[in-house]
Chain A
């Protein structure tokens, strides 16, 4: 008997299961790589033999394993399943489910494949499949990141819905004697030829007894009812009424409140501490020593905060250069053969190409993620199990850390993933998880909510890596003829994976992402080389990772060359492109922004184009020089995502991503002095505020051959578009972020 059949029979045999009914459907019944996590721990007699759809006599449950940090993927996953299942997602129960390897991300490894993300030829796809397969075997990781949630889910979840629908129809056919071909499905029910309906929930126990129908065909997009049309996010009412619960809002009976203070020199030691004053403060239960610092446990969050500040700590030195200038000095010394990471592009001959030369150097700083909800986790550790409520992008790893630290078996660690108040990559880190586990281990039986003070959060942000670029190029006859870029930065992936106990062999693709994989095939002489700087301050993935600094540097260099050539910034970029999908994106933004139309004196337009995560994105910014500084007037963004799932949410991501890119380019950096970040809160690292926000128009194109995620791609072109606009308006070329080091903004 097939494995699926065995499970179905077992479901049937589990006591009252068949009576109470309940069935779960998934995709790859025959060839699924991992067991279905819904088999354990289901309650009320509901049985389950697949990962994404559960039907019980009471309800239909859709599992949305990708975490929601604000990007709307909770709703999008439900919609993908519901489209094929024929159910209103608002009438189903939608859950993040339990962390499990069955929810491994198939496409996350694509970014590591040494082929251009826009290359979708057969060989490239084969290589991706092989690499994805390897990643699956070696590192079956349930991860939300890298703008992969949509591409990872697109087929998988629709198929899960289709399998469930067809199996329910088969169950209805068996019950009624009507041929499957004469049955329809709609709105959570199977419809008989006479118009009568059988709700899916009524069919649950029947469906549990049959083999799932896995031979399904996905509907053509022209038949879609939900996808591709404006949808209302499932979380929108809660998020507009203060009723959405985030990790920070979790409460348990008898819960105490904790905060931590660890060495502000990130990764440095705690040499000693004196907590006598803190311990005497009202409401303080305990001051605990934890790795690298202390934790205070009190009866409310504020008292924990106050007491933590009252502890006298003696901190050790930073395990990296104490002063910012020394970080840059190390990078400056890294353009050497022995630090060469890769030479991913070397077309023509940049050295012998003839033309007027231009040389320039660029810098992009450390930048904090600083999501508005500070890091937090609520934990309850007993002798036999641990429960943790937190929002995390790699929940399985987080649960494993809890197991390791508390000594509780992994299968008895239950991570309840929470809606996240932003992340931008911050919730890929594990400090807060480890600290909560450590506190829980020391205080077994007491529920504890650990909340970071904002200052602690910024001090331990694991910011975006710093990057330096050295550019050269040549122009002749009004054209750009050669471009040669060297990029140097520490490896984000090595730093981040190192903290997870993993090492990634080979060159780090993020060190040249957003630069080498450009569509300027008509720029016959071009070379991109990346250099790997030894780790400085610990860093991690910041929304769009390497593509943000590299896109800024590459596109600014290109813009400088175009101006030197005397060409039009948009026309020359178009001329250099040999990728049709990209060209249409750039043409769209040109049309939207009325590129070329006259502007008043003191105003200027800048255009930038960057491909990241396979998405070509073009942005135009229009600025005006006022007496008190630069004002951002208008902005436009065009992108090709292959296929639009929800136009409303996509527009929100486009605007938000562009604002994120613009705001950080205007005024955000983390700098180190005495080993500590000099910025500690939103007074010194704000990003954009509402009064600074330009109007932003967005257009989505669907010419690309693959569906793409859009959480990150709007970010990289924003900084160069703004810098190019400032140049157009003022004649001042700023080669360093943030721009407010050199110019004021109103």
Chain B
């Protein structure tokens, strides 16, 4: 199976039904995407696949041939932040932070598609990403800030 992760070509030899989440975490050592539920209920494992936000716990290796995967690490780094990450820092969104990789990737996908989302569009897009710590008010605020930054930029 050949595919790209954060711009680097990767190849793994695993079972057809092994999920991308575990390929990333255990085979490739990319730990930004988190395991929360394994059944598409929490969104902690969210990554971009050819630009779309997907639950990596549901993407099996047989779907990966030629795919372009971006994880939170590929979105931006502490030295070169993505606008969404910068907004997350400005609003100090995180509590435990465990859900936030998935939240940020999901928000980045939304803003790439819809740079000025309505409140309803934010609610629709983000409701598959569970935050057990309850950071939702800050997530909404950070998305609005990132939206402004991206439009000005």
Contact = CB atoms under 8 A, between A and B. Distances in A.
Contact of B127 (A653, A663, A691): A691
Contacts of A463: none
Interface in B48-101: 71-73, 75-78, 81, 85, 88-89, 92-101
Contacts of A251: 29, 31
Contacts of B36: 372-374, 454, 682
A681 interface: yes
Contact of A240 (B93, B122, B128): B93
A648 B135 CA distance: 12
Contact of B97 (A421, A451, A453, A649): A421
Interface in A133-178: none
Contacts of A575: none
Interface in A685-734: 686-693, 695-696
A663 B25 CA distance: 30
Interface stretch (A76-84, A229-237, A408-416, A615-623): A229-237
Contacts of A70: 94-98, 133
Mostly, the B contact residues are: loop
List the 4 shortest-distance A-B pairs measured between CB atoms, nearest first.
Answer: A242-B32, A70-B96, A659-B134, A421-B98
A215 interface: no
24 contacts: A69-B96, A71-B95, A232-B89, A233-B92, A238-B97, A242-B71, A371-B96, A372-B36, A454-B35, A454-B38, A454-B39, A652-B135, A657-B134, A658-B134, A659-B134, A660-B134, A681-B41, A682-B39, A686-B130, A690-B123, A690-B126, A691-B126, A693-B134, A693-B137
A420 B32 CA distance: 15
B133 A690 contact: no
A348 to B, nearest CB: 39
A683 B39 contact: yes
Interface string A193-207: 000000000000000
A454 B85 CA distance: 28
A464 B8 CA distance: 46
A690 B140 contact: yes
Contacts of B132: 370-372, 422, 424, 660, 687
B31 A232 contact: no
A420 B139 CA distance: 20
Contacts of B88: 240
Given A240-B94, A655-B134, A682-B36, A302 B19 contact: yes
A656 B135 contact: yes
Contact of A241 (B35, B76, B99): B76
B22 A372 contact: no
A241 B73 contact: yes
A657 B19 CA distance: 33
A691 B100 CA distance: 17
B77 A374 contact: no
Given A69-B96, A241-B73, A689-B127, A682 B42 contact: yes
Nearest to A661: B134
A282 B127 CA distance: 36
Contact of A301 (B35, B92, B136, B137): B35
B133 A656 contact: yes
A119 B97 CA distance: 36
A208 B99 CA distance: 44
B129 interface: yes
Most buried by A among B34, B44, B92: B92
A652 B81 contact: no
A91 interface: no
B104 interface: yes
Interface-centre pick from A653, A659, A682 (highest chain B CB count, 10 A): A682
Given A70-B95, A246-B98, A648-B92, A372 B34 contact: yes
Given A241-B78, A257-B26, A373-B34, A652 B92 contact: yes
Contacts of A120: none
A372 B96 contact: yes
A346 interface: no
Nearest to A423: B96
B27 interface: yes
Given A240-B88, A419-B97, 10 more contacts: A70-B133, A305-B38, A370-B132, A374-B35, A374-B36, A656-B135, A682-B37, A689-B128, A690-B122, A690-B129
Given A301-B35, A372-B34, A244 B41 contact: no
A453 B22 contact: no
Interface in B113-153: 122-124, 126-140
Contact of B130 (A374, A420, A451, A682): A682
Contacts of B15: 282
A530 to B, nearest CB: 29
A424 B133 CA distance: 9
